[in-house]
Chain A
Amino acid sequence: MKKLLGVIVTLFLLVGLSACSSDSKSSSTGGVKDEKTDKGLEEFGETIKYNPNKLVNNGDPIQIEYWTWNDTDPVIKMAKEYEKIYPNVKIKIVKHPWDDIWTKLPLALKGKNGPAMFGIHNSQHDILIPYLAPYDISASDLEADFTSVEPHIIDGKVYYTDLVINTGNIYYNKKLWAEAGLTEADIPKTWDQFREVAKKLTKFKDGKLVQAGFNYNGGGGYDAIWQGMNYQQGELMFKDNGKTVNYDNEVTKKTTKFLVDLYEVDKVGSKDFGDDSTMSFGNGQTAMVYKWGWMKGELATKYPDIEYGVFPTPTPTEEIPFAYDRYNGESTPGINKNQSKEQQAVAQDFLKYLLANDQYSKEAAFTYASFPTKKSLANDEEILSDPLLKILAPRIERLIWPGPFPATIETTSKQVIENILYNGQDMNTAIKDGQEKMESDMKDALFTSLENKYQFFNEAN
């Protein structure tokens, strides 16, 4: 009896252990067999053309996995459209939280059972590039149809590129704006004008700040804005060797002093006025914040009652600066080079379907509140009718991309401003310490700056 119990326990534990193993192997069974070559659909696309009248995977059922962190990833909708055309193909969408996907994904891609296709964020370039298959589409064809492809060409091949590009803008609360007696004519063009507007939007009660004119507390505040303000003054983020960060310099000190003075001299905000400027804006306690395109989705989801407007980030003077700001792109998907040839072939075909398709770029533009890089959409009426995208359009050419720089540049700069504001550290010392930390964190990084690919690079300081 004891022996039988021992055997049962053994089997139970073995089953339990095997259940813990991941079963991410993509099944070769997708939908039904497809025998209809002529779908009755038209070919579409500009230089990259897609003809749907064919069989994918010879019409045999196949399933591929697509991993993403984003519930609103436009690939999800496009996958359903693709499956309608090719009923033998099943694209299984697998979602992982942002904090998890950047460890799970590379580990999955190392093996043979990782997803055939996955969302990419260029901040994770270093850990993904070893596993990416080059696009079957030539670099020249991609450059013909999309802007900002060139920084993504590696040895003549493209592994992913920018689908839409994004930068910072000023979001303002329309109700608080009107209460302060301001109109659209008061929208500031320079930082000096911005400061005066912020003062008008600031309110105190019994000596305590109750409404901030401008708030940059928390992530996506100082750590993002200093970069743009430095570029506006012609200061590059990296030194001549393209590898050493250029943080400790007079322009950074000037930028940081301006932002610190907004709080401590002009009193338009406060380090103690909450630690999350997004929440503060969403709750109607802050009149203006500097945020990137994701803010649109955040406000729509969490703070739908806020009536807000957007205007371009001010500049030092009314003349065109070296660059208005840096941009970053939401990327096209990646393809797993360790997956089977059949899986990769389907992934490459689906990718071509996406890139030839204006709808994919449009969905991404509205989802991410970012300007599409697809040239055919540069003057699209629907795109330009969006208030945020309308602001981005005239500035697109004067946005610079330094490349997928390591996260330490933003995380360390956030610590620098906290050390200055909260820990009372001297500004020059804090910036110097920040420079040292960034350099230390980046000493083994494979990163090289792409600032020299900016078309106005020669105008830098």
Chain B
Amino acid sequence: MIASIQNKFKNFLSLKNVAIAFLVIYFAIFMVYPISKAFIGSFYDWNPLIDQFNFVGLNNFKEVIGDGLFWNSIKNTLLFTSFSVSFRLVIGLGLAMLLHSKLAKYKSFFNGMFYMPTITPLVAVSFVWMWMFNPQFGLINNIFHLDINWLNDPKYALPAITIMTIWKDFGYATVIFLAGLMGLPKDVYEAADVDGASGFKKFTNITLPLLKPTTIFILITSLISYLQAYVQILIMTEGGPGTSTYVISYLIFDEAFVKYNFGTASAMSMILFVIIAILTAIMFKVTEERKITP
């Protein structure tokens, strides 16, 4: 009996169980608790800095849904996300195909070069690009002989931020796609060569379908990341000019950490959570394999 208990105790304290336990504790502390707290807080007039926590029911949600700035931020977020994700995928795949081809030389070097912006801190990159976009001494205007006030012109401010984001992140997609391409079976391409398939046909009928899991992975992770982007807005425009570059995460940051309206910010976060969940579900649905029925 005692030996049995001792054995069970030994199994319990195995490395596997200890590691899993810490993961569970970590997620419970740093994810489950804050998310639950935010969910509950969304029904309160909440400022934790002065212990203000007064129940207001759905008032925060009503205010948020009735706020024009919120919907404008959603619109900006969707525009920013769709362009950033699309270009990231296209440029990433294009460069990966180039690196994978027999024509490319110094592949490792270029692979490293393309990935470098990805590992550079976003804050530093945002500052550098902010200076590059400066209308008086910025590199962009000087090189291309332009006279655009990039970050203060509502026509160009969000596109400028999008360009910076694409530049920073395309390398990640390149590396992932390259790994995916390297893992594709060669015999399929050999069979296609025997059948006389053109390069375009091979790309559309073999490469793209086989890369689908990789593409979905990059698509979903990019979507989740860009829907929550706010650092570049915070540094480059602070939501300006006016409120024309407000995105939803920046609005949440502004509401919570500038105005100390944690309840309203939590309500916005919950709405954002639902939007991300719906979009992710749609993505999975659209990209799932069609089941072949006999």
Contact = CB atoms under 8 A, between A and B. Distances in A.
Given A274-B135, A274-B136, A9 B19 contact: yes
A425 interface: yes
B50 A130 contact: yes
A428 interface: no
A444 interface: yes
Contacts of A10: 18, 22
B50 A2 contact: no
A6 B14 contact: yes
Interface in A269-306: 271-275, 280, 285
Interface residues of A, number: 37
A205 interface: no
Contacts of B149: 271-272, 275, 422
Contacts of A425: 242
Nearest to A425: B242
B241 A418 contact: yes
B115 to A, nearest CB: 29
B134 interface: yes
Contact of A273 (B136, B258, B259): B136
B5 interface: no
B242 A419 contact: yes
Interface in A1-28: 2-3, 5-7, 9-10, 13
Given A2-B14, A13-B22, A411-B258, A418 B152 contact: yes
B47 to A, nearest CB: 8
B13 interface: yes
B49 A127 contact: yes
B49 A423 contact: no
B260 A127 contact: yes
A272 B244 CA distance: 16
Interface string B2-38: 0000000010011101110010000000000000000
B243 interface: yes
Interface stretch (A31-39, A72-80, A102-110, A256-264): A102-110
B261 to A, nearest CB: 8
Contacts of B159: none
Interface string B123-137: 000000000001110
Interface string B38-55: 000000010111110000
A407 interface: yes
Interface string A386-429: 00000000000000000000011001001110110111010000
B240 interface: yes
B96 interface: no
A13 B24 CA distance: 13
Given A7-B13, A273-B136, A408-B259, A418 B240 contact: yes
14 contacts: A2-B14, A3-B13, A6-B13, A6-B14, A6-B15, A9-B19, A103-B49, A107-B48, A110-B51, A272-B149, A274-B135, A275-B152, A411-B258, A419-B243
Given A2-B14, A275-B152, A441-B259, 17 more contacts: A9-B19, A13-B22, A127-B50, A130-B50, A271-B152, A272-B149, A272-B152, A274-B134, A275-B134, A275-B149, A275-B151, A414-B240, A418-B152, A422-B149, A422-B244, A423-B154, A423-B241
Interface of A: 2-3, 5-7, 9-10, 13, 103, 106-107, 110, 126-127, 130, 208, 271-275, 280, 285, 407-408, 411, 414-416, 418-419, 421-423, 425, 441, 444
